[in-house]
Amino acid sequence: MPFPPPSPPGPPPMSTTITALDVHDVRFPTAAAGDGSDSVNRGDYSATYVELRTDGDALGAGLTFTNGRGNEITCAAVRALADHVVGRTMEEIDDEPVPFWRSLTADPQLRWLGPEKGVIHMAAGAIVNAVWDLRAKLAGVPLWRLLAEMPTPDLVRCIDFHHITDALTPDEATAILDKGAVGYADRRAELERDDFPSYTTSVGWLGYPDDKVRALARQAHAEGWRAMKMKVGGSIADDVRRARLIREEVGPDTLLMMDANQIWDVDEAIANMRLLMEFDPYWIEEPTHADDVLGHARIARAVAEMSGGRCRVATGEVAANRVIFKQLLQAEAIGVCQIDACRVAGVNEVLAEILMAAKFGVPVCPHAGGVGLCEYVQHLAIFDYLRVGTSLDGRMVEYVDHLHEHFTDPVRTRDGRYRLPEQPGYSVTMRPESIAEYRFPDGPAWRT
Ligand SMILES: [Mg+2]
C-alpha cells in the first residue's frame, strides 16, 4: 500500500478561524473514596477544560489535568494565553506550527512564569491540544491517524528542536519517521484486529484497604489484565505486605509495576527496592524527585544490578519539558519513558519526546489515569507504534477505570487492551451535562 494511504473522501478544506476560547474549571470529587490516592497525592481529579470556538461548526477541545485545588490557577493561565490563539486561522497555524507553539510557550512576558514548566506550560498544553483536536476533527480522522499518516516533513515541521539538537536533529527525526512509514498498513491492521496493550493502575491505590486491593487484583486478573501497577511509598512494611498480597492474587506471570510518586530520597529508594525485589517488580516509577536526573540514573543502575537487568526505572508524568526528557535519556536514567499528554505543551512537544525515546531505544509507556489522560494518550501510543517505535515490545498504555463516562468518545478496552479510537479528534470532548454538573464551585456536585 502506498504511504500515506489514500484519505477517505471528505469535504474540501475550508478556512477556519478560531473566534473564541472558553475555559471551564471542572472538578470531580474523587478524594473522598481514595481513588487516585498515592504516597503524596489525594486529589479531586480536575480538568482545566478548554473549548476553541470557530466560525464554522467545529469545536476544538483540550484539557490539562490537575489534582483539585489550584485548578483555578491553570484556568487563569489559559486566559492569559488566549490572545495567542483567538483570531488565528487553522491555515496560519498549519503553515507555521513552531512559531505558533512558541507564541504560547515563549511569550516574552509570560515566559518568566516558567519557562516551559509548571502552570503556564500546562495551560499552553491545554490550548495546543485543543488546536490538534480541532485539526483532527476538521480532517475527519482520529488524532492517531492524522499523525501516523502525516508526511514526514509535515511532522518534523511541528517540532521545536530548540535545546534538544544535541540529542535529536531534524535529520535524525526524518530518518526515524521515514523508516516508520514502512510496514505502516500491516501494523495498523494488526492494531485494528488485536487492540493496543495496556496495564491497569486501578488495583492498588494507597488509600485502599488490603481486602479491597486483593479483590481488585483478583478481578483485574480475571478480566484479562496481565500487567498491573501498585502504589508504594507508605511505610515499607505496608508496601511489602501489599506487594505480597497482589503477587499472591495475580501469580508470577503478571507484570507488577510499582509507583512511588517521588516520595523517596535516592538512597532510600535503593534500600526500599532491595526489600521489594522479591516480588519481581517490572519497573519502579518516580522513585525520587522528578527533577533529579542524576538520582534517577543512580537508582536505575542499582535496581538493574539487583534484578539482573529485569527491573527498570520509569518516569515522565511530571517531567516539565522535552529538555528534562533529553537528560533522562542521555543519562540512561530511564528504561521506560512515561510521556504525559498535557504536563508538557501538548502534541508538538510530545512528538519530540517520542522521537528522542526512539532514538535512545527506550519504549514509551504513556502516563494516564486522572481525568481524560487515558482518552488522550491512547492516540500518542498508537502513533508511536505505527510510525516511530514500530515494535510493541515493552509498550503499554496505563489504564485507570475512572471518569470515562464524562467524555463523548471515551476509551474502550477489551481483554486488558485499548481498542483503537474511531471518532475524529483527540477524544477529550466533555459531555456538556458533565461540565454543568461538576463546574467548580457553582456546579450542583459542589454546591452541596
Ligand atoms: Mg505515576
In a domain, 134, yes or no: yes
Cα 194 to middle of ligand 1, angstroms: 26
pLDDT digit of tens for each residue in the chain (448 aa)? 567 776 655 555 568 999 999 999 999 999 887 777 777 778 899 999 999 999 999 999 999 999 999 999 999 999 999 999 999 999 999 999 999 999 999 999 999 999 999 999 999 999 999 999 999 999 999 999 999 999 999 999 999 999 999 999 999 999 999 999 999 999 999 999 999 999 998 887 788 899 999 999 999 999 889 999 999 999 999 999 999 999 999 999 999 999 999 999 999 999 999 999 999 999 999 999 999 999 999 999 999 999 999 999 999 999 999 999 999 999 999 999 999 999 999 999 999 999 999 999 999 999 999 999 999 999 999 999 999 999 999 999 999 988 999 999 999 998 889 999 999 999 999 999 999 999 999 999 998 7
In a domain, 54, yes or no: yes
> What is the domain-level CATH number for residue 379?
3.20.20.120
Answer yes or no: do 138 and 90 share one domain. yes
| 219-231 core/surface letters (b: 16 or more CB in 10 A; e: else) | ebbeeebbbbbbb
Answer yes or no: do 191 and 132 share one domain. no
Strand duo 196-204 + 336-337: pairing: unpaired
> What is the domain-level CATH number for residue 55?
3.30.390.10
CA proximity to 405, closest of 28, 75, 132: 28
Cα 367 to middle of ligand 1, angstroms: 7
Answer yes or no: do 147 and 202 share one domain. no
> Phi/psi at 285 (nearest 5 deg)?
-100, 140
Strand, helix or coil at 172? helix
In a domain, 442, yes or no: no
Tell me the longest C-alpha to C-alpha distance in the chain: 63
Answer yes or no: do 111 and 155 share one domain. yes
Domain stop point among 131, 162, 193: 162
The question of whether 367 is a catalytic residue gets the answer yes
Cα 258 to middle of ligand 1, angstroms: 9
Answer yes or no: do 220 and 108 share one domain. no
The helices-and-strands tally (H runs, E runs) of the chain is 17, 12
- pLDDT in the model for residue 39: 75
Give the Cα separation of 226 and 224 in Å (integer): 6
Answer yes or no: do 74 and 193 share one domain. no
Q: Enter the C-alpha cell of residue 376.
A: 488522550
Distance of CA 40 to the CA centre of its chain: 19
Report which residue type is found at 128: V
Answer yes or no: do 190 and 158 share one domain. no
Answer yes or no: do 148 and 271 share one domain. no
In a domain, 36, yes or no: yes
The answer to whether 67 and 435 have CB atoms below 8 angstroms apart is no
Cα 300 to middle of ligand 1, angstroms: 16
- Cis upstream peptide for 444 (omega within 30°): no
Q: Enter the C-alpha cell of residue 436.
A: 454543568
Residue 109 DSSP label: T
- pLDDT in the model for residue 7: 65
The residue from 367, 379, 404, 406 that is catalytic is 367
Domain stop point among 162, 195, 212: 162
Answer yes or no: do 139 and 189 share one domain. no
Answer yes or no: do 155 and 208 share one domain. no
- pLDDT in the model for residue 63: 98
- pLDDT in the model for residue 373: 98
The answer to whether 357 and 198 have CB atoms below 8 angstroms apart is no
Instruction: State the alpha helices, DSSP H only, in 288-372.
Output: 293-306, 322-330, 346-359
Strand duo 397-399 + 196-204: pairing: parallel
Q: Enter the C-alpha cell of residue 243.
A: 506487594
Answer yes or no: do 103 and 198 share one domain. no
Cα 201 to middle of ligand 1, angstroms: 9
The question of whether 231 is a catalytic residue gets the answer yes
CA proximity to 255, closest of 185, 320, 314, 207: 314
In a domain, 425, yes or no: yes
In a domain, 432, yes or no: yes
Domain stop point among 162, 194, 227: 162
Domain count within the chain: 2
In a domain, 233, yes or no: yes
Domain membership of residue 383 as a residue range? 181-436
Partners of residue 47 on adjacent β-strands: 26, 65
- pLDDT in the model for residue 14: 63
Q: Kindly list the protein residues that place their beta carbon closer than 5 angstroms to ligand 1, a single-atom ion.
A: 259, 285
The residue from 84, 121, 137, 231 that is catalytic is 231
Answer yes or no: do 335 and 269 share one domain. yes
In a domain, 357, yes or no: yes
